[in-house]
Amino acid sequence: MDPNRRSLRWLVAIPTLFLAYFFVYPLASILWVSLTTGDGRSWAEILQTARIGRVAWFSVWQATASTVLTVLLGLPVAWAFSRFDFPGRRLLRAAMTIPFVMPTVVVAAAFMVLFGRTSAVPLVETVWIVLIAHVFYNLAVVVRVVGGMWESIDDRLVEAARTMGANRWRAFRTVTLPLLRPAIAAASAIVFLFSFTSFGVVLLLGGIRYSTIEVAVWRRYFLLDLQGAATLAVIQLIGVAVVLTVYARWQRKRQTEQAVRAGKLPAPTGWKQRTVVFGIISLALLAELGPLVTLVIRSFTTANGYGFANYSALTNADSAFLVTPATAIGNSLQFGLAATALAVLVGGLASVVIAARRSSTWFDTLLMLPLGTSAVTIGFGFVVALDWPVDLRTSVILVPIAHALVAIPFVVRTTVPVLASIRNHLREAAATLGASPRQVFRKVDLPIAAKALAAGGGLAFAVSLGEFGATSFIARPAAPTLPVAIFRFLARPAEASFGKAMAMSTILMLVTAVVILAIDGYRAGDL
């Protein structure tokens, strides 16, 4: 057998076994629990107890409303960034992305400051704050996805329509909009799925009245109704699969070709155009960065004015916790490093196989499935399944494993294009000089792919720092992560606890932003 082929088989085996045990097996266990009627209840009784009709309806309609609002508000911003060039354009567009990568507990904390019970506009525990938070979170998706397509549209197509007598609105409706539909559909599908599977935002801001299926799974689990939680998780998986299938079929039927823009973007001309463009961008930046700035200011607010008291208090023991908040920060950093190492190892091995084009479609699909599965479902699957052959459910190692599982697709997607772009003559030259396949990989492939792996590892670290859904199931009381600690403090009414939550949220926000900006700079330099 070709030693190269034998090596690739081993590389396929390692990621496959990892995903089979930590992903496929837990999902199968959830399905089994949902079908097991140990207490004599039928599915109809389970669904009635969990109020699935009300939960499913709220999940669907709030996701639909969030999607419509996000697209309507995001299109003008995408237009401004994609059709005009102005000083600081790239930096401002990168700043627009920061809210999207923020952990959900940070977003919830920021909106509690702006719309809490003591604020000028109290919206906490209303549906409005859920919709506003989802728009805040997902606006960058529309700006990036639709804006990227809009930027490539050739101006001559619109000019031709205007020459034939069409006004601006008609030219947009008959020329630009049909070309943008695939990008709008893609952005809408992403926003809908994120809103449909929303957990942290709804749990912290929606209160007891509002619950997505994701939140309902969490609540049924902590009410010790494992079968009810499993049934809801299965329904959630089915709903996500239906949305992805419908979108995939629609996309295949609506693929279009278009002329690509030639030349640079023009600068806004005339006072009216400059006012509109800069007005849209200013309002968008205020809406996207304003809540995060407010969060930082609130973290320094104390009973005696402004100061560092909330940050100093993070080193003090709390009667409601087994560890100090500072320990939770240390736990998150340790778990993040462990999850990053695991994601880079498993994702890197899988990337080699995919780039070599020696794997079938099922392998690539298997690697991407965790990205389309909610973190709550993954965490719930861990606690119902991983007691065989060794009981891991009380072990802290499950936390970095769960984080790595969610992060592996990011490592694969950043690394595969780089590995696939390596020219074969470089490998052939090394082999001609006597290098073995292993040496060729170490001397040729690995140095070229190192920066891509580093970028993927940075994304994995950021994902691990902010992960809350799966961690809420598997984090041990003596080893909470930073998001879990923030959630616990936000759930307590004391002013001191809220101040600590603000300080920890600010720390988590700043670390996440630094990691993401470092990745952008890393990519811009050499990738």
Q: Last residue of some domain: 261, 290, 319?
A: 290
- Distance CA(140)–CA(151), nearest Å, equals 15
At 447, list the tokens: 């140095």
Same domain, 273 and 324: no
- The answer to whether 185 and 144 have CB atoms below 8 angstroms apart is no
- Token pair recorded at residue 68: 């419509």
**Residue 299 within any structural domain of the chain:** no
- Report how many domains make up the chain: 2
Q: Please check whether residue 213 lies inside any domain of the structure.
A: yes
Q: Are residues 211 and 143 in the same domain?
A: yes
Pick the closest to residue 83 from 212, 292, 280, 268 (CA basis).
Answer: 268
Same-domain check for residues 139 and 26: no
Q: Which of 309, 313, 237 is nearest to 489 (CA)?
A: 313
CA distance readout (Å), 266 to 17, 82, 151, 285: 52, 10, 11, 21
Q: Where are the alpha helices (DSSP H) in 208-324?
A: 213-222, 226-253, 270-299, 309-312
Q: Judge whether 471 lies within some domain.
A: yes
- 3-class secondary structure, 278: helix
Rg (CA), the chain: 25
Query: Contact, 166 vs 177, CB < 8 A?
Result: no
- 279 within domain boundaries: yes
Q: Angle of helix 89-101 relative to helix 270-299, nearest 10 degrees? A: 40
Instruction: Give domain status of residue 297, yes or no.
Output: no
Place of tokens 């920890």: 504
Asked whether the CA dihedral 210, 214, 220, 222 is positive or negative, the reply is negative
Q: Domain for residue 295, yes or no?
A: no
492 and 353, same structural domain? yes
The token duo for 30 is 């959830």
Q: Do 151 and 117 reside in the same domain of the chain?
A: yes
Q: Are residues 156 and 272 in the same domain?
A: yes
Can you tell me whether residue 153 is helix, strand or coil? strand
Residues 210 and 88 grouped into a single domain = yes
CATH number at residue 429: 1.10.3720.10
**Residues in Cβ contact with 450 at an 8 Å cutoff, skipping those fewer than 6 apart:** none
DSSP tag of 479: S
Domain boundary among 240, 256, 290: 290
Same domain, 94 and 148: yes
Tell which of 290, 319, 351 closes a domain. 290
| Structural domain containing residue 269 | 42-290
- 204 and 263 housed in the same domain: yes
What is the full per-residue pLDDT of the chain (527 aa) written as tens digits? 344 555 666 778 889 899 999 999 999 999 898 877 556 666 666 666 657 778 889 999 999 999 999 999 999 999 999 888 888 888 888 788 888 878 899 999 999 999 988 788 889 889 999 999 999 999 999 998 888 888 877 777 777 776 777 677 777 777 788 888 888 888 898 899 889 989 999 999 988 888 899 999 999 898 888 888 888 898 888 888 888 777 767 766 665 555 455 567 888 888 888 999 999 999 999 999 999 999 999 999 988 889 999 999 998 877 667 788 889 999 999 999 999 999 999 998 888 888 776 555 677 777 878 877 889 999 999 999 998 888 888 889 999 999 999 899 888 888 888 887 776 666 667 667 666 666 666 677 777 778 888 888 888 898 899 999 999 999 988 889 999 999 988 888 777 788 999 999 999 988 888 887 777 666 555 54
Residues 6+ away with beta carbon under 8 Å from 208: 125
Residue 173 lies in a domain: yes
Asked if the structure places residue 447 within a domain, the reply is yes
Residue 13 sits in the same domain as residue 55:
no
Nearest CA-CA partner of 51 in 215, 206, 207, 259? 215
The verdict on 31 and 73 lying in the same domain is no
Between helix 3-19 and helix 361-372 the angle, nearest 10°, is 30
Does 273 share its domain with 404? no
